[in-house]
A and B are shown apart, each in its own frame.
Chain A
Amino acid sequence: MTDGAKTIIGIRSVTKRFNGNVLAVDDVSLDIKSGEFFALLGPSGCGKTTLLRMIAGFEVPSDGSVEIDGQVVDDVPPNKRPVNMVFQSYAVFPHMTVADNVAYGLKMDGVSSSEAKGRVEEALGLVQLPGYGERMPDQLSGGQRQRVALARALVKRPKVLLLDEPLSALDAKLREAMQLELRNLQAKVGITFVMVTHDQDEALSMADRVAVMESGRVRQLAAPRDLYEFPNCRFVADFIGKMNLFEGVVKSSAGSEISVGIDGIGDVRLPFDGSAQGKIGIAIRPEKAMVTADKPSDEDCLSLEGQVTQVAYYGNESHVFVKTASGLDFSVTTQNNERSVVAATNPGDRRWVSWRRKDTLVLAE
């Protein structure tokens, strides 16, 4: 996929302070590879948009530098950078036709009008708006305006396409369709896409690699699967998907096993490859745990007894909340595989919650 591909965007110890003291981006370094779909994911205010805007040239780093295709671009204004952006509000010029919007960047580059005409049609075809050239933006739906913004950026054949929360203004159904379409479009044009989003589903389903940001720093940079199954810290574990998080203390570690005392669970041995000391986080995904009436006999399982406090029914699955005798709150996702109108688990039931040792995450940070 992208292993060994050359770096198209290099972020080199970039720091951005606003008004001299507000730290938006804090010493971030990362490489974005040519041809990949890269996502910057994080809660609002984590600095992801600022980072994107520094790549586009709308903000200048306070420290460090940005490289595009091997060139330091800190002194290059946005209009001279080989990257283009799809804005969150799309910013489709309301006073120009769709064709004029798409042709705008070409005109600025001095592309002849006959060539521009062909490329505009081609770009509109690419975003599935063929023949929409003569319309005005206010005659288009939100989704169509976004396609115009996409075409307008892609028609310039940038080295990198930047997308600032591209799907946030669309309704849920359209968003899902657009996720797939953007993915396909990226594969088709082969241009590097860098997307900013706060929506983990979007990042996981679309990107090749995701950088999770918090408070101006990159907490983890990994492929979606690694990010979900092997978060490297409590923040990422909690931010991506749902998680049961507990506190523990390392008793001893030897080889690929670690002995941990977990509050409310007791001392357990867990498989762990790294090194950890003192207080650590213990995490179990709700869907990796089971709820059963009897204690499972499997030696590889850890189990706790408790009382069901609440059951939230979502159709395809249910979320069962259990309070253990030791006072821990545990949530378990169960698949509703059988057609039945009678719930298997009800509040007040006494149940066993269990999960496999190897599905337990040990979070040193």
Chain B
Amino acid sequence: MDPWHKFRRIFYSVGIPPTIWLIAFFLVPLGLIWIFSFGEKVGVVGIDITWTLDNYVRSFNPDILTIFAKSLWLAAVATFICLVIGLPVALGIVYAPNKWKGLLLLGIMLPFWTNLLIRTYALIAVLRTRGYVNFTLEWLDGAARWFLELFGMGGIALAILGERFQALELLYNDNAVILGLVYVHLPFMVLPLYAALERLDRSYLEASLDLGAGHLRTLWNVVVPLALPGIISGLIITFIPALGSFLTPDLLGGPDSAMIATIIERQFKSANDWPFGSALSFLLMYITFGALAIRALMARRRGGDGMGG
């Protein structure tokens, strides 16, 4: 690497345009809503910058706090489910035959490349009352009835299955949001886990088995502690976008499954309260930065104490 002052001309020519762009079209807009967050709404469109903390104070009223708590909860549950699914999947891929490895990783990545909106829509098509899941259930229900009828147990069928098939309400509730978050964010979890496990010398696992531990105890005593940096990284990388999700709760959630992004959007569109929306945006960003800081801190500590093995 060269010191910048030795090649000033090149340094300035490649440095100035992107820096100006970043400032003008990214940092200035962010700065603008940061300033807005200390403003007051005047009339329909006006904003008066009074450096009030009111918007932040309002964020701590119970309604908003509930939504924050709920967002954190939904994102956390989804992240945890991603971990529970992602760990065995990553482990399976790492120890798969070489020719399968790439294909399986690609298989995990491929849905990730398709449009977020479309993936969410695909879930709606599957889960809605007249969707494939309910359709399959109805068919199973019909088959069960027919089967019981055949043996003259229509009464039992009526008792267990009820008068007629009731479609499950799988959409527009918190569970649908969690399912959607898992669906969308699973690759975020699998990839760092894969990277961490791939780096893990397989003799550690073999040594553990050799010393008498079963697979589960090996997983808990050896794999999880040694892959911990990767696991934490995966948790944070999954949690951050899950927390900031807008489309998933918007399309899959019910009236009370609003997440932070939902109320931010509301302030900027229907409620037209930009200062409050700006304050909420910054609170969301601060949480994000906090999570990233934890990750960086972990990475530094791991790097520092020579966990190479």
Contact = CB atoms under 8 A, between A and B. Distances in A.
Complex contact flag A–B (Cβ < 8 Å): yes
Q: Which of A56, A91, A153: most chain B CB closer than 10 A?
A: A91
Given A79-B212, A89-B201, A138-B308, A108 B217 contact: yes
Q: Which of B213, B217, B225: most chain A CB closer than 10 A?
A: B213
A65 B201 CA distance: 28
Contact of A105 (B201, B212, B222, B225): B212
Contacts of A109: 212
A87 interface: yes
A155 B244 CA distance: 52
- Band of interface residues on A: 20 to 34
Contacts of B204: 91, 93
A177 B221 CA distance: 34
Contacts of B213: 79, 104, 108
A255 to B, nearest CB: 54
B214 interface: yes
B206 interface: yes
B210 interface: yes
A50 to B, nearest CB: 14
B212 A88 contact: no
A108 B212 contact: yes
B307 to A, nearest CB: 6
Nearest to B98: A19
Contacts, number: 71
A80 B215 CA distance: 12
Contacts of A149: 207
B209 interface: yes
Interface string B191-219: 00000000001011011111111100100
Q: Which of A19, A56, A57, A93: most chain B CB closer than 10 A?
A: A93
Contact of A94 (B97, B209, B226): B226
B201 A79 contact: no
B305 A87 contact: no
B211 A19 contact: no
Nearest to A109: B212
Nearest to B206: A58
Q: Which of B207, B217, B221: most chain A CB closer than 10 A?
A: B207
Interface string B278-309: 00000000000000000000000000011111
A78 B209 contact: yes
B208 to A, nearest CB: 7
Interface in A42-60: 56-58
A80 B222 CA distance: 18
Interface of B: 97, 201, 203-204, 206-214, 217, 221-222, 225-226, 305-309
Given A95-B225, A152-B211, 9 more contacts: A19-B97, A57-B210, A79-B209, A85-B207, A85-B210, A88-B203, A104-B213, A108-B213, A152-B207
The 4 closest A-B pairs by CB, nearest first: A105-B211, A108-B212, A91-B203, A94-B309
14 contacts: A79-B212, A79-B214, A84-B211, A85-B206, A85-B207, A87-B207, A92-B309, A93-B204, A94-B309, A105-B211, A108-B213, A109-B212, A138-B307, A153-B210
